[in-house]
Amino acid sequence: MSNLLLENVSVDFPIFGANKNLRLSLLSGLTGGRIIPNRLQKQTIIIKALENVSLDLREGDRVGLIGHNGAGKSTLLRVMAGIYHPTSGRLSVQGRLTPLLDIAPGLEPEDTGYDNIITVGLLLGMSLPEITAKLPGIVEFSELGDFIHLPMRTYSSGMMARLSTSIATSIDPGILLLDEGIGAADARFGEKIARRMKEMVERTEILVLASHSEALLGSMCDKAALMHHGKLLEFGSFETVQKAYHRVLQEG
Amino acid sequence: MTEERASAPAAARWGAALPTHESDANDFRVAAWDFVQGFRRHEIWKRQSLNEVRRRYRRTMLGPMWVTVSLIVFAVVLSFVWAGLFNQNVTTFLPFLLSGLVPWGLISAIIGEGTSAFAAGEGLMKSRQFPYTTLINIVIARNVIIFLHNLAGYVLVATLCGVAFTWATLLLVPGVMLLLLNSGWMCLLVAIFCLRYRDFQQLVASLLMIAVFVTPVFFNASQLQGKRTIIIHANLLHHMVDIVRQPLLGNVPSATSYVFCLVGGIVGWLAVFLLFARKRSRLAYWF
């Protein structure tokens, strides 16, 4: 059984190399989390990106992360992914975790599309036999044809997006952490991607999706979590949280 | 099939559930997991290092032999002048020089590229959790590939110069292993420091440049007399070069060099492991 548990998780970011002016301007106009001058080390400032976030996600949960820019959505995803270790609090993950925050880490323009599928697949945590088994499917879905044997630098940006999304959506994710902005491909391919995304989401045990688009969240999630200045304001059914989000938008 | 499930028996020990996904897991266990998985997932570092070498020399005629060719040309030209300075034959000075430059090239490239091993891995390190030592393994493997090219070049030059390969030449194998053992911890050490303190990248680069002249690479250790010999005998880098250089010249390296490299390797790794275990969870915050 998959489970994703956060208990009172806080995350502080040290900002290195911020000069005094930048520090002052950061302190005056906050957009993100809360900024706290670090008393011990005057030269670094600390951004409180997450404060006491507690969440308990179970198998079958489809959770949308909602909130304005800098509210802590991406940071929260990265904490769940084990990238940022909580400054305080506790994270516990049971099950196989697949973060798709950056759609294809490690794409190399000099390598062929074919080589890149293997490299990225390995980096996404697939094994070599697993990739080999999925390769024909990925190639076919990307509609790249013989271009798959050419270096990626010869691809158009649409072709590149098609390849990276084809790889990313081929995995069996377990717990899937998804940051928005997937599939900047052409319109026809966009539909195809949407369908394939849906299929992938159906294979997931837990989905956490961060996005600004309420339509996207509404179509994929039944629950939602509202982030505001690094705090979790509300967690519950998508409709309730959506209302709370609108309230926050009006107030703020 | 996931990577974890694919390797079921050992995974039971080191983590179908990654210990890092329990945020209060013991630091040392996580670091040990990182080392074991970083090494075991050899598909990644083998592939990445080979690809990087290929990529760098793509569309060149000589490929990675470019490093070797330029190294040999450099050594030949230098030997013609310096053999005169040191009153030696070119045919003895050239193999001597090259037998030092080849291991030195390996050491300095591993340390030098270690400065950016983590710092250049931002895209990966901020997109997922994985064994960070993979990035170190890639640096080492890539430079071993280049080293092997240089080694082939050395054998060619040495044969032409009439260097007698003996049984002692076989000591090359443990020599290279010990060299890598020590370069490995140095690589991880500079990778950690250079991520946190970006000044270290510049600092390490200039220290390496000084080290190549202080360490007996261009000159023979026995040419130095008196008190100054301390900079040779206490210099771990010298011993790392010498346990590879002596076999290349058909000689047996000194026992002192083996002791230095063994002790240096063990103590170095212990210290760097402690540092890595304590700071691993902070690395992603340092970009």
> CB-side exposure of B267: number of CA atoms within 13 Å?
7
Residue A93 contacts B, CB cutoff 8 Å: yes
Residue A122 contacts B, CB cutoff 8 Å: yes
What are chain A's domains?
Answer: 3-95+211-251 (3.40.50.300), 113-204 (no CATH)
Higher pLDDT, A24 or B171: B171
β-strand pairing of A206-210 with A34-37:
unpaired
Of B2, B23, B58, Cβ closest to residue A96: B2
β-strand pairing of A45-58 with A175-179:
unpaired
Q: How far is A235 from chain B (nearest CA, A)?
A: 22
Per-residue pLDDT of B162-183, as tens digits, reads 998 899 999 999 999 999 999 9
Of B23, B125, B127, Cβ closest to residue A85: B23
Q: How far apart are CA B243 and CA B176, in angstroms?
A: 8
> CB-side exposure of A82: number of CA atoms within 13 Å?
27
Token duo for residue A200: 């992938």
Mean pLDDT of chain A: 83
Residue A123 contacts B, CB cutoff 8 Å: yes
Which sequence spans correspond to the domains of chain B? 25-286
CB contact under 8 A, A128 and B17: no
Residue B74 pLDDT greater than 90, yes or no: yes
Residue A181 confidence (pLDDT): 61
Residues ≥6 apart with Cβ < 8 Å to A82: A91, A93, A97, B18, B20, B21, B23, B129
Q: How far apart are CA A174 and CA A189, in angstroms?
A: 25
Q: How far is B285 from chain A (nearest CA, A)?
A: 7
ipTM: 0.85
B142 contacts in chain A (CB < 8 Å): none
Q: How far is A247 from chain B (nearest CA, A)?
A: 32
CB contact under 8 A, B284 and A85: yes
Residue A172 contacts B, CB cutoff 8 Å: yes
Residue B286 contacts A, CB cutoff 8 Å: yes
Token duo for residue A162: 């098609």
Q: How far is A87 from chain B (nearest CA, A)?
A: 9
Closest to B186 in 3D by CA, of B200, B199, B198: B200
Token duo for residue B27: 């630091």
Least confident of B28-42, B135-149, B217-231: B217-231
Least confident of A24-28, A147-151, A171-175, A234-238: A24-28
Beta strands in chain A (DSSP E): 3-15, 34-37, 45-58, 62-66, 88-94, 97-100, 175-179, 206-210, 223-228, 231-237
CB contact under 8 A, B126 and A110: no
Residue B281 pLDDT greater than 70, yes or no: yes
Token duo for residue B252: 């047996």
Q: How far apart are CA A31 and CA A228, in angstroms?
A: 10
Per-residue pLDDT of A150-191, as tens digits, reads 999 899 888 888 888 888 888 888 899 988 765 444 556 677
**What confidence tier does B15 reach under pLDDT thresholds 50, 70, 90?**
very low
Report B:195-254 residues touching A (Cβ under 8 A): 198
Closest to A110 in 3D by CA, of B38, B56, B191, B268: B56
Q: How far apart are CA A25 and CA B225, in angstroms?
A: 60
Q: How far apart are CA B275 and CA A6, in angstroms?
A: 27
β-strand pairing of A175-179 with A97-100:
parallel
Average pLDDT (B198-225) is 91
A105 contacts in chain B (CB < 8 Å): 123-124, 127-128
Contact A10, A87 (CB under 8 A): yes
